[in-house]
Structures are given as structure tokens and as C-alpha cells.
Amino acid sequence: MKELTMLSLSFFFVSALLAAAANPLLSAADSAPNPVLDIDGEKLRTGTNYYIVPVLRDHGGGLTVSATTPNGTFVCPPRVVQTRKEVDHDRPLAFFPENPKEDVVRVSTDLNINFSAFMPCRWTSSTVWRLDKYDESTGQYFVTIGGVKGNPGPETISSWFKIEEFCGSGFYKLVFCPTVCGSCKVKCGDVGIYIDQKGRRRLALSDKPFAFEFNKTVYF
């Protein structure tokens, strides 16, 4: 009886291994990170436009850019900021995973974030997000634009972010902790909101993540 049981188990494991070998795409799909979902439960698609909608109500609206500092001077590239009014969804975003063949956006994977249909300023044509250098005046690492799309490696390390699940129920947060360069030392952290002296809600690394949902862009 024991010999029969062992033979049955051996047959089961061999069959499973053969099935996995015959279906490599299925095995890869089973091990892939979860897809990111929008508010309708649909998978986020690479290169498709979406609005970021904050989970907390009465705590600002969508995301855009600001090209002025608190003292009124012009800066380029502009900073990524959250609008003050909840009703303002503002500018849509598109997401591009490290793997250019991936058509679904997934959690815990390196990706570029890009503002759509927007020309920031004449000194840069890039609308790709990047983490700026440490700002000594505020003690913050701010998110700006002017990053590089694709070409993962040490030269583009500041342009890679990740989407992570936040408390379930379709809520998400952004994280800067790129893994596109194994030898690079990076400052990892959640992306949150830093409110400056003028009340601007700037995106920066924070121990209090900015929680949000995705809403697919609708053109009228």
C-alpha cells in the first residue's frame, strides 16, 4: 500500500513538472505580481491614461505640476504636486513597466510614470517623473519631472517607481525603491505629500504614504 502511495505521488509530481515545462507562459503568469486595478476592477494597461484619485476626501485632488517656488521664482523642471481642490482630477498619467513587452501594469515592479499631453517648459520636453536630489532647505526628496523613459540602469535610476497595494480594497501607494540597478545605492521610501509654507502639496518621500485609486481617463 505504501509503495502504491509513493508511486502515485511520484507520478503526480512528474506530471506537474512536465505540465509546467510544456506551459512556460502559464507558469510565468502564475508567479507574476498582481495586476494593478482601477476603480472598476479592470487591469491597468501600459501606456493608457489614468487619473490618480486620493482615498482621503477633503485632502486635495489629483496630480499636476507647479513651476514656481514658494517665493514666486520660476523653476524647470517643474515639481509634481497635488491640487488643493478635491474636485480637480487634473492631469492624467500613463505607466510604462521596465519590461516593454508587458501590457499590464503590476504591483511591486519598476516602472516609469509619465504625465500625458503636457509640455512642461522650454528647457525640457520630458514629462517623466524622477526623484530629485536631496533638498537641504526643506530636508526633503521631492518628485519632479524631467526623467528618462526606459533604458533601465544607473543613469536612469531616479526615474523608476513602483506601485504597491495599500490596506487592500483597491487602494494603492507609490514607492521609490528601484531595482533596475543591482549595484546602485538608493534612498527608498513611500511617496507622500509635503505641504510647503505657501500651502502647495508637493510629492516627496515620506513615512506617511499618499493613498489613492486609479480612475481611467474619459475624453469628452
8 with 78, same domain: the answer is no
82 with 165, same domain: the answer is yes
9 with 78, same domain: the answer is no
19 with 41, same domain: the answer is no
76 with 112, same domain: the answer is yes
Cα–Cα distance between 219 and 92 in angstroms, integer?
11
Residue 12's pLDDT is what? 41
Which among 38, 45, 25, 80 is positioned nearest to 210, based on CA atoms? 80
**Band of residue 171 on the pLDDT scale cut at 50, 70, 90:** very high
Cβ-in-10-Å burial (0-12, 13-18, 19+) of 50 comes to: buried
Average pLDDT value for residue range 87-95: 80
Residue 42's pLDDT is what? 97
Q: What are 117-169's pLDDT values in tens digits?
A: 666 566 667 899 999 999 999 999 999 999 999 999 999 999 999 999 998 77
22 with 85, same domain: the answer is no
Residue 156's pLDDT is what? 98
Cα–Cα distance between 72 and 97 in angstroms, integer?
36
13 with 115, same domain: the answer is no
66 with 16, same domain: the answer is no
pLDDT top residue among 58 and 37: 37
Residue 59's pLDDT is what? 77
The answer to whether 35 touches 56, Cβ cutoff 8 Å, is no
Phi/psi for 16 (5° steps) reads: -65, -40
177 with 80, same domain: the answer is yes
Domain count, the chain: 2
pLDDT top residue among 89 and 101: 101
Domain that holds residue 10: 1-31
89 with 174, same domain: the answer is yes
pLDDT at 182 over 50: yes
The enclosing domain of 84 has a CATH number of: 2.80.10.50
67 with 24, same domain: the answer is no
120 with 22, same domain: the answer is no
Q: What is the residue type of 52?
A: I
Q: What are 34-46's pLDDT values in tens digits?
A: 999 999 999 999 9
Q: What are 18-32's pLDDT values in tens digits?
A: 444 455 444 445 688
**Band of residue 86 on the pLDDT scale cut at 50, 70, 90:** low
What dihedral angle (degrees, nearest 10) is formed by the CA atoms of 17, 22, 24, 26? -90
